[in-house]
């Protein structure tokens, strides 16, 4: 069984994620009236630079909201990032996350072709999914399932995936549930994620857990991966990967 993360493993959605984060406190319907290209161009360069930094640390949509804080430009460690995240009042963080989701939903509805096209596949991913068609490939992601299915359909890959578990914050449990549902042991699962926390958590189930080097990571993540002897996987290796 092959189980993949989505953003940072299957597809790159940097600009889309930045847009929903930046406009999270605005009226979704009003935002969706403007072309995506215009929305992207209107984001301040400083915010985009902060988001590029924060994206390396984030696991969930709510984590992206740290990029809205001007002090995020000085993040150099996981500790710095977590301190800024903790500064956001829970009610405010929940409201921003809900707002970002609403903006994404509105954009999907109003500009479906353009929105889907913002999600580009990493090299080798199409072939990987096609080769494993019919073998029970699943996606486990922090992104909502509806968005993932739309993007897969855009790339004509919806038939290569049997299940999408969206808005997932506990990938370890999700992998265990998927394996059990298919009547196999975790050792028969190959899991790929670009966030070291997820890769290590799933590895502890006994699954073959691979850390996607082409995704988003930080120097702290690299140090942690070395300490835990976490195996990396590089894009050229996908051509020979069988799960």
For the cut 90, the answer to whether the pLDDT of residue 118 exceeds it is: yes
Taken in order of first residue, the domains within the chain and their CATH numbers are 2-11+119-240 (3.40.50.1000), 13-117 (no CATH)
pLDDT tens-digit map of 220-242: 999 999 999 999 999 999 999 99
- At residue 212, φ and ψ (nearest 5 deg) are -75, 110
Q: From start to end of 117-159, where are the E strands?
A: 120-121, 138-140
C-beta separation of 6 from 148 below 8 A: yes
DSSP string for 131-165: HTTTS--EEE-SS-HHHHHHHHHHTT-GGG-SEEE
For the cut 90, the answer to whether the pLDDT of residue 134 exceeds it is: no
At residue 101, the pLDDT reads 96
Length of the chain: 243
pLDDT tens-digit map of 201-210: 999 999 999 9
pLDDT tens-digit map of 36-55: 999 999 999 999 999 999 99
pTM of the model: 0.91
C-beta separation of 190 from 152 below 8 A: no
C-beta separation of 25 from 44 below 8 A: no
Structure tokens of 28? 């979704």
C-beta separation of 136 from 3 below 8 A: no
Average pLDDT, the chain: 96
């Amino acid at each position: 069984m092959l189980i993949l993360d989505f953003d940072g493993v299957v597809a790159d959605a940097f600009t889309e994620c930045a847009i929903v984060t930046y406009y999270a406190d605005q009226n979704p319907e009003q935002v969706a009236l403007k072309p995506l290209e215009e929305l992207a161009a209107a984001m301040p360069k400083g915010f985009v630079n902060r988001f590029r930094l924060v994206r390396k640390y984030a696991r969930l949509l709510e984590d992206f909201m740290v990029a809205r804080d001007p002090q995020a430009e000085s993040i150099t460690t996981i500790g710095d990032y977590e301190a800024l995240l903790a500064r956001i009042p829970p009610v405010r963080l929940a409201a921003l996350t809900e707002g970002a989701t609403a903006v994404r939903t509105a954009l999907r509805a109003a500009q479906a072709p353009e929105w889907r096209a913002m999600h580009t596949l990493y090299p080798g991913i199409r072939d990987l999914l096609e080769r494993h068609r019919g073998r029970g490939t699943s996606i486990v992601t922090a992104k909502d399932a509806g968005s993932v299915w739309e993007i897969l359909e855009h790339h004509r890959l919806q038939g290569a995936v049997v299940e999408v578990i969206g808005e997932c914050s506990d990938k370890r449990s999700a992998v265990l549930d998927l394996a059990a549902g298919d009547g196999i042991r975790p050792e028969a699962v190959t899991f790929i994620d670009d966030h070291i926390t997820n890769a290590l958590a799933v590895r502890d189930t006994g699954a073959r857990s691979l850390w996607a080097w082409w995704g988003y990571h930080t120097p702290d993540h690299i140090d942690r991966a070395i300490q835990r002897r976490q195996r990396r996987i590089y894009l050229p290796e996908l051509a020979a990967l069988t799960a």
